[in-house]
Amino acid sequence: MEQAGTGQQTHCPYCALQCAMTVTASSHGRNDGVTITGREFPTNRGGLCRKGWSAADLLSHPDRLTAPLVRGADGVLREAEWDAVLHLIADRVRSIQAESGRDSVAVFGGGGLTNEKAYTLGKFARLALRTSRIDYNGRFCMSSAAAAGNRAFGVDRGLPFPLEDLDAASVVLLLGSNTADTMPPFVQHLRGAQAAAGLIVVDPRRSATARLTDQGKGVHLQPTPGTDLALLLGLAHVVVAEGLEDRRYLAARTSGYDDVARGLARWWPERVQGITGVPAAAIRATARLLAQGARSGAQGGPGAYILTGRGIEQHADGTDTTTAAINLALLLGLPGTLHSGFGTLTGQGNGQGGREHGQKADQLPGYRKITDPAARAHVAAVWGVPEDAIPGPGLPAVELLASLGRPGGTRCLFVHGANIAVSAPNASTVIDGLRSLDLLVVSDFFLSETAALADIVLPVLQWAEEEGTVTNLEGRVLRRRAAVAPPPGARSELWLMQELARLLEAPSLFSDDPATMFDELARASAGGIADYSGLDYSVLEGGAAAYWPYPAGSTGTPRLFLDAFTHPTGRAVLVPVAPRSAALDARVPAPLLLATGRLLEHYQSGTQTRRVTELLAAQPAARLQLHPATAQDLGIAQDDPVVVTSAHGEARALADLTADIRQDTVFLAFHYAEAESANRLTGGATDPVSGMPEFKTTPVRVASLSTRAFTDQLEAIA
């Protein structure tokens, strides 16, 4: 760590863009004088968003946890000593597992943990707790995109090319992502397509990103929520029907074309218009614009890119929808070329690395399948344990949370880097499950809504207080560096896992040294899809552009697929998809469809950003966006308090009337808690392939609180 008063180069604690910044501690060494400046780097080019600029405010926040908390018999959390708390946890784990089996203890991780912590958490669950029950909040974020990428390309790396490649694009199709609000410095990489009038944004809202297409600088397609799959099939139909596909590329580099082409015959633009509300003429024009960009890219000129985000992925058919986007890209010959491409935009700060090294229920380090005998043998050898010491696959996040407190289910839960009381779907049921546990252990630096329910809270380090690595949305491995001293009493999660592993008599190495755990991660990943074996801290300290796969002896892989895709055949696979009736039936408006999402000022469950004064002042309360015509029909005026009701619960918000949203759609940010929690409204339906919850199309009713109160009075009288 550098001395107080000097700057330390590191990266932002928030989204997967991982903007470069310099953190400078005060000359007197305390955390209340820390300053942040943007640093030149390919992803952000010196820019930061409001969240990044204000990130230092959290380092000296009065809410910071600095001692373990244990809930007493009277229900009150009180400070306790570390040694006694760790012994208490170990004793309770042993007792619960003796009574109910190893899988009665579970772990829930997070996409914001460093690679070292994510790797060690997966190892800790399987070797120290000896449980199969581990999953993480990335299941709510990237799982559908990952599943689609794996089946089409044989690998899941959000962007298989450097972000800077977008600068030269003449056409960019952006589906379901509001990057202008969620990662503002990203927008500069869209300027070339915007200038060429080739920026195409698909979103039911006229978001900040959609507004980049104003003044003739692009196209905004505004489909009915949940109909993105039909829209993509319509675009692909035009490509095939008008002979716009790249037949040479398809023949040389793909399989499955005939089956996909036959299925597309049914999705002519006029039919798709009736489903999506997007005019048939706009569908044809968009397909032709994409094909024009693809042809230019194939000739070495400005190319075309298709990018997807959570808006099309967080659905019960999110894997199929993302697959349809990949099919469209393959038909046009985009993936694996120098001037065009396809990618998905990772959201959480280490959402990419967090899913590569063992937090997922079905994976081992290196993005290996836990059911693969060769993968199990390799990892067991690195860990120095028998192969049968590694449990089999566990439960994906929604199923894991549904098991809380149930007979034969989870009795003890460890939570790291997540605030599931706010972020999980069907939040009220999840909260009931958390309350029913015999033991809930939460590691956090603030008393989040989940930590407030815990039996034991463990105070851990923040981003600027610890060493480690993260992997950004491009698959680039980056060094996070400690810039300030942690408060006395807070401990590294690596340290606490080391100590608990010792008390639980776990085999293998558990170290509180991040470099040691990274070196083991690299060995465990060797030969896997996400191979980090050629990396160590000395390589990363040298400023190498470290894109995985980075096997020993290599210089990394900035651009995947240039020579071959990752399937054994070397070919990408086009997979036929079509809307499933079950998914469509679940979206019948009642009378409105709710989409949840993020705001410029806040991040994830708001545990951090709701504690930053300027961010909270800008967005202090949950606001429900609805169209003025819809509001008029419901007797709702601007800033009226409203109640939103679904089959799963209700939430309260202030009305925000805007013509930027469809009349059949309402939007609520998911950063707020308790009565304002958007996830009180969402349900437990999941994608059958990825386990992704349905976040974007929940049928809801909306009423002003005054109208609701009057209705309740009438019902009481009746």
Contact of 649 with 656, CB cutoff 8 Å:
no
Interval 330-363: pLDDT, tens: 999 999 999 999 999 998 989 999 999 999 999 9
pLDDT of residue 2: 36
The phi and psi torsions of 147 (rounded to 5 degrees) equal: -65, -40
Same domain, 281 and 193: yes
Determine the 3-state secondary structure of 712 from DSSP. Answer: helix
The rounded distance, in Å, linking the Cα atoms of 668 and 671 is: 9
Assess if residue 50 is contained within a domain: no
Same domain, 386 and 415: yes
Tell me the residue ranges of DSSP E strands in 28-112. Answer: 35-38, 69-71, 77-79, 105-109
Consecutive 10-residue averages of pLDDT for the chain (718 residues) = 65 95 76 86 95 94 97 97 98 98 98 97 98 96 94 96 97 97 96 96 96 95 95 98 98 98 97 96 98 96 96 94 98 97 94 93 96 98 98 97 95 97 96 98 98 98 96 96 94 98 97 98 97 96 89 96 96 96 59 94 95 96 98 97 96 98 96 96 93 94 79 53
Same domain, 122 and 169: no
Q: Which two tokens stand for residue 578?
A: 């079509």
Among positive and negative, which fits the CA dihedral 676, 207, 13, 5?
negative
For residue 138, the 8-state DSSP code is: G
Determine the 3-state secondary structure of 427 from DSSP. Answer: helix
The rounded distance, in Å, linking the Cα atoms of 524 and 501 is: 19
Helix (H) or strand (E) holding 332: helix 318-332
Same domain, 293 and 419: no
The rounded distance, in Å, linking the Cα atoms of 663 and 686 is: 26
Among positive and negative, which fits the CA dihedral 324, 211, 19, 13?
negative
pLDDT of residue 591: 85
Domain's final residue, options 294, 315, 345: 345
Strand order in the sheet with 35-38: 7-11, 20-24, 35-38
How many Cα atoms within 13 Å fall on the side-chain side of residue 638? Answer: 4
The rounded distance, in Å, linking the Cα atoms of 246 and 299 is: 12
Assess if residue 658 is contained within a domain: yes
CATH number, position 646: 2.40.40.20
CATH number, position 452: 3.40.50.740
Q: Which two tokens stand for residue 451?
A: 């930590």
Same domain, 132 and 225: no
Same domain, 219 and 318: yes
Q: Which two tokens stand for residue 618?
A: 């800008």
Same domain, 176 and 324: yes
Assess if residue 479 is contained within a domain: no
Number of independent structural domains in the chain: 3
Domain's final residue, options 479, 504, 529: 504
Assess if residue 536 is contained within a domain: no
Determine the 3-state secondary structure of 166 from DSSP. Answer: helix
pLDDT of residue 577: 97
Assess if residue 263 is contained within a domain: yes
- Residue span of the structural domain in which 285 resides: 143-345
Same domain, 426 and 386: yes
- CA-nearest of 645, 642, 646, 644 to 656 is 642
The phi and psi torsions of 36 (rounded to 5 degrees) equal: -125, 135
Assess if residue 568 is contained within a domain: no
Region for 134 from its dihedrals, namely left if φ exceeds 0, alpha if ψ lies in -120 to 50, beta otherwise? beta
CATH number, position 277: 3.40.228.10
- CA-nearest of 340, 139, 134, 163 to 246 is 340
Domain's final residue, options 321, 345, 369: 345
Q: Convert 197-254 into a string of H (helix), E (strand) and C (coil).
A: CCEEEECCECCCCHHHHCCCCEEEECCCCCCHHHHHHHHHHHHHHCCCCCHHHHHHHE
The rounded distance, in Å, linking the Cα atoms of 438 and 419 is: 19
**β-pair type (171-175, 304-308):** parallel
Contact of 686 with 313, CB cutoff 8 Å:
no
Same domain, 149 and 281: yes
Same domain, 204 and 298: yes
pTM given for the model: 0.95
The rounded distance, in Å, linking the Cα atoms of 446 and 452 is: 9
Same domain, 329 and 359: no
Region for 608 from its dihedrals, namely left if φ exceeds 0, alpha if ψ lies in -120 to 50, beta otherwise? alpha
Assess if residue 494 is contained within a domain: yes
pLDDT of residue 183: 96
Assess if residue 338 is contained within a domain: yes
Same domain, 356 and 416: yes
